[in-house]
Structure 1
């Protein structure tokens, strides 16, 4: 069980900081240890062990990915979960997440827009047509107000009447009243990312705390909804902080962890940060799978510019879910391209029946 909201897991004591990237040292035993501990026994790597994987040299990435794939097949099975997302309310968010062009505090081109209910239903139908089992309604807000909850309620009712698909939501930080209402609406899964390690969070967001995010995640879990809680990699964190985040996610025990890679957006404070190197992204995928052996690990935003054609390596290195189509403010790959990739890899798409 995850710890109570009053007791957040402490930051692991890790070795001295190293720059996030490059050929930064090897450990001849960590993958052997992972084979015994993770593959055979199903126990994820600790934060310190995860850091050792993140420090593996480039010459060992293929080995780490191969082991991560074995772990995924052993503890999650062959199915890949496909999901589509749509923004019910885009832009104008009062928060200052430094990577996000939807913040009303930044000089970005995204402006506040609301999606009408018929368009929401059409998006759900289009998502279902790809073979997806999950449709996520997202809103750029600190947390839902009465207007948003009313729109979500009406949208979910209309979708349920028209489409046989699981509905997830991502509506910011919640109160217990919000959580109870979403359960009553039949929301299957709630997304609320930790984004980055607790120790790095103040450099990424200043308008709310990491603890507030953690508290929302705990309420969601306690209410019986599935919890989707992920990360954005490449926001200036050190390798130690990347490993710290993996350990904090493991302590939270989410059903799903979406892995986003920074796609620097014009007008945001992180606009000039570099795109994460593809080898670092693959190292991170393997490390997170070894830290989270039983969790859905989903390709999310930024994989297109970070990995390109190497996205296949991630699918063969621990990833077992994908968001198809476009993201909230950035373009993704066409759904047909991802479905063709899964077909080429002979990876079956998770059926609706398997999600209930």
Structure 2
């Protein structure tokens, strides 16, 4: 009889720190309901052993919102779709204030985002000015997400003090052409290689529920693991009016929790961060269940174009989960 996936993961991931392969991730994504609690409990033990008990809170803000020339089918910031998002650019004072508010709520990282295919030199100069202003007033690590980079642009970001760069794969390589047609999956991977070569940390994740099969979801997890990201933002589709994916269904809670645990078991040492759509997939109070099922980081408060929970509630959730000991995990999951 083949070994149970929980036994495989316990020996391979928990004890040895080796991530599951694609077939094993698929098995984790398809565990029966009666094994889900045990899967989540195991994923939590893995993240405690290989990442520690700390849960990270991050603030995020868009320097430039809307008007993007790309056709990412899930995104309301694309200028190609009839979505309600309007182009907006923030000034430096607004960015500094947002960073201060993030620090006040205990965030250790602040991410500056722009809706562009890739940054112009003018945009990079704006980011440099923002980083300098934030560093002068706020004690917080600064990351950025500005689209596809050249090697020189990655070097500029490193020199101005950006410590981590986000560029998501979004989905499995085999499914990517169904999601984006204006650039390639390979272009995204090249950007991550430039970022790593310049000594910055890499942040790469994506969105669960774009229409991919469970087999492709497993493919996505191992492709992420192969690039060894420091941080993996885990989003769940929040269908946006006016986009091609406006009518896609929400990810059911059980399916979402399986994804959280499976991605942790594929990447035992990565920072797995809840991002957009978490409240929709897991339920308003399900964030804590996910943090007790493998995740160890949250983007607090609102996202780029959608509302999250008030950042105070995210701070409370982080504090509660961090205070729990291993013996109480299983009973806590049952109560949520």
TM-score tier (shorter): over 0.9
Cα shift at 1:347:
4.2
Residue 17 of structure 1 corresponds to which residue in structure 2? none
Report whether the alignment pairs 1:310 with 2:289. Answer: no
Give 1:142 shift. 0.0
Tell me what 1:325 maps to.
Answer: 301
- Of 161, 171, 178, which residue of structure 2 is paired with 1:203? 178
Q: Is it true that 1:286 corresponds to 2:261 in the alignment?
A: yes
Match of residue 261, structure 1, among 236, 241, 261: 236
Figure out how many residues of one structure are paired with residues of the other and give that number: 322
Higher share in helix: 2
TM-score, L = length of structure 1: 0.89
Listed as ranges, the matches of 1:82-101 within 5 Å are: 82-101=57-76
1:24-103 map, 5 Å: 29-103=4-78
Q: Deviations over 1:151-194 (max 9, x none)?
A: 10111111011111100000000001100100100101000000
Question: Unaligned stretches of 5+ in structure 1?
Answer: 1-26, 349-356
Deviation (angstroms), 1:28: 6.2
When normalised by structure 2's length, the TM-score is 0.94
- Matches of 1:114 and 1:37, distance apart in 2: 47
1:222 shift after superposition: 1.4
Instruction: Determine the C-alpha separation between the residues in 2 that align with 1:135 and 1:347.
Output: 24
Task: Please tell me whether residue 183 in structure 1 is matched to residue 158 in structure 2.
Answer: yes
- Contact 2:55–2:322 (CA under 8 A) maintained in structure 1: no
Deviation at 1:344, TM superposition (A): 2.3
> Are residue 140 (structure 1) and residue 115 (structure 2) matched?
yes
User: Separation in 2 of the partners of 1:329 and 1:92?
Assistant: 13
- The secondary structure found in structure 1 opposite 2:110 is strand
Alignment correspondent of 1:341: 317
**Cα distance between partner residues in 1 of 2:319 and 2:59:** 18
Which of 212, 218, 225 is equivalent to 1:243? 218
Displacement over 3 Å in runs of 4+: none
Distance apart, 1:268 and its partner CA: 0.2
Superposition RMSD in Å: 1.0
- Which residue number corresponds to residue 139 of structure 2? 164
2:279–2:286 Cα contact (<8 Å) kept: no
Give the corresponding residue for 2:169: 194
Alpha-carbon displacement from aligned partner over 1:233-277 (angstroms, at most 9, x marks no partner):
000000010000101011000001010000000000000000100
Q: C-alpha distance in 2, partners of 1:341/1:82?
A: 10
